[in-house]
Amino acid sequence: MARKRTIMIFLRDVRGALLISLWFMFLTFPIMVIKVNPIERTVVWRWDNMAYVGLLSFLLYLAGRQYLKYRERRLESSRRQSMEEKTKRFLRRLSENPVPAYTLMAVAGVFALSFPFVFSTYQTNIMITALMYVVLGLGLNIVVGVAGLLDLGYVAFYAVGAYSYALLNLHFGVGFWFALPIGALLGMTFGILLGFPVLRLRGDYLAIVTLGFGEIIRLILENWNEFSKGPSGISNIPRPGLFGLEMPLETAITYLYFLMIGLVLFTVFVVRRLQDSRIGRAWYALREDEIACQAMGIDKTRTKLTAFALGATWAGMAGVIFAAKTTFINPASFTFLESAIILCIVVLGGMGSIVGVILAALILILLPEYLRAFSDYRMLVFGAVLVLMMVFRPQGLIGHRRRTYTIKPDAGRSGNAA
């Protein structure tokens, strides 16, 4: 009886796989099968490709189904409770015996510090970009990951920061170090200005409005020639200086690299402290249940606005650094795709997890760079990785964890344990 059932289920999977492979063959027909030769004006039909696509999707689907079933069975057998128990025990062990954690951190630290001296300028430049996305990811993480506000126009604040440095420098010769706080402040101002009317909206509407806002900023920058020089952008933006010191290009990039490392550390420091504070708890709670939050005396709009403005502040800062790094900016750098990538970093990393966001930013930015060798397929691989991640680990690389407190029986003092 049971045997008959397993066979039935398997047959159903095979049927599903057949349908899937047919569908894929149909979908990929135009690109995989038809090849037009424009010179000889002939069409080459590559039917063998169709067979490969069919076979591959058939097998992949079957394998995926089997894996999912296996996972389900395993989850059932070792119930959720015990899984949680296991992670908890592991975390306790880690906090009681912090040697592996410290070793890991030390290795990462040494690697980060020696990076520009070991690797080429080209590699360092890529790393700077990746670190920039780490900062952007951590900034958006406050908004989306912690406070649960879906912001699809994050790049707008990034643009505000970049253009504020570029324009201030162009017109008034303002230097990098002076522009950095101004860019941050302007980002925050724009965040508050947009957030104030918009944060009353619920989830999906907020996403649409922020998406629109991002596009508006980009279109303004593209079309208001007198203000922003339009699509041709602004060039010759100076790199960050050090007390007016002239630096050769290589040194300047190394300097910028360390500046980014500093900013990442600063960001991690701030975000960590925020998460573990009265306001951070309120953000988490808002994400969990808005109505209960209000009933507990939390000012919904104000708390959301704080998260939104803080995220925008970090985008503004990253924007200034971006302008200084590339020395040239134009509106094309601030398309919706940028917002989407930053959002991917947050979701992939695990909403609200700092380590997760850092890992995700490094993977998402470095992977496509180093996959350049496979030029044509790199975006395909990139997409596949994203899809697989969301199927098999929807909670992100590093799942959500809460701080635990140890209460001393006498005074009820607290200490950090996780």
When the beta carbons of 35 and 272 are compared against another protein, the nearer one is 272
In the complex, minimum distance from the CB of residue 281 to another protein, in angstroms, rounded to a whole number: 6
In the complex, minimum distance from the CB of residue 75 to another protein, in angstroms, rounded to a whole number: 16
- Could you give phi then psi for residue 335, rounded to 5 degrees? -85, 175
The token pair at 401 is 């964890």
How many Cα atoms sit within 13 Å of 354 on the Cβ side? Answer: 14
Contacts with another protein by CB under 8 A: the residue count is: 37
C-beta of residue 175 within 8 angstroms of C-beta of residue 238 = yes
Burial 33-43 (b: 16+ CB within 10 A, else e): beeeeeeeeee
CA distances from 235 to 19, 167, 170, 327, 390 (A): 53, 10, 9, 6, 39
Q: Is 416 in the site for another protein (CB under 8 A)?
A: no
Q: Is 306 in the site for another protein (CB under 8 A)?
A: yes
Q: Is 248 in the site for another protein (CB under 8 A)?
A: no
CA distances from 123 to 48, 129, 281, 300 (A): 40, 10, 39, 44
Q: Is 410 in the site for another protein (CB under 8 A)?
A: no
Q: Residue 329: helix, strand or coil by DSSP?
A: strand
Q: Is 26 in the site for another protein (CB under 8 A)?
A: no
Stretch near another protein under the rule CB under 8 A, chosen from 43-51, 171-179, 190-198, 406-414 = 406-414
- Could you give phi then psi for residue 257, rounded to 5 degrees? -60, -50
Q: Is 196 in the site for another protein (CB under 8 A)?
A: no
C-beta of residue 186 within 8 angstroms of C-beta of residue 160 = yes
Closest CA to 95 of 353, 401, 410: 401
Binder to another protein among 136, 293, 361, 364 (CB under 8 A)? 293
Binder to another protein among 127, 167, 282, 357 (CB under 8 A)? 282
Binder to another protein among 112, 279, 340, 397 (CB under 8 A)? 279
Binding letters toward another protein, positions 382-401, x by CB under 8 A: ------------------x-
Binder to another protein among 12, 69, 71, 273 (CB under 8 A)? 273
Q: Is 223 in the site for another protein (CB under 8 A)?
A: no
When the beta carbons of 15 and 393 are compared against another protein, the nearer one is 393
Q: How far apart are CA 393 and CA 384, in angstroms?
A: 14
In the complex, minimum distance from the CB of residue 113 to another protein, in angstroms, rounded to a whole number: 25
Q: Is 295 in the site for another protein (CB under 8 A)?
A: yes
When the beta carbons of 233 and 356 are compared against another protein, the nearer one is 356
In the complex, minimum distance from the CB of residue 386 to another protein, in angstroms, rounded to a whole number: 24
Binding letters toward another protein, positions 309-328, x by CB under 8 A: -x------------------
Stretch near another protein under the rule CB under 8 A, chosen from 44-52, 225-233, 323-331, 408-416 = 408-416
Q: How far apart are CA 138 and CA 124, in angstroms?
A: 21
Burial 175-189 (b: 16+ CB within 10 A, else e): bbeebbebbbebbbb
Q: Is 404 in the site for another protein (CB under 8 A)?
A: yes
When the beta carbons of 234 and 354 are compared against another protein, the nearer one is 354
Binding to another protein (CB under 8 A) within 37-96 occurs at 81, 84
Q: How far apart are CA 215 and CA 218, in angstroms?
A: 5
C-beta of residue 309 within 8 angstroms of C-beta of residue 147 = no
CA dihedral 10, 16, 21, 22 (to 10 degrees): 130
Q: Using CB under 8 A, list all residues that contact another protein.
A: 81, 84, 270, 273-274, 277-282, 284-285, 288-289, 291-300, 306, 310, 400, 402-405, 407, 411-414
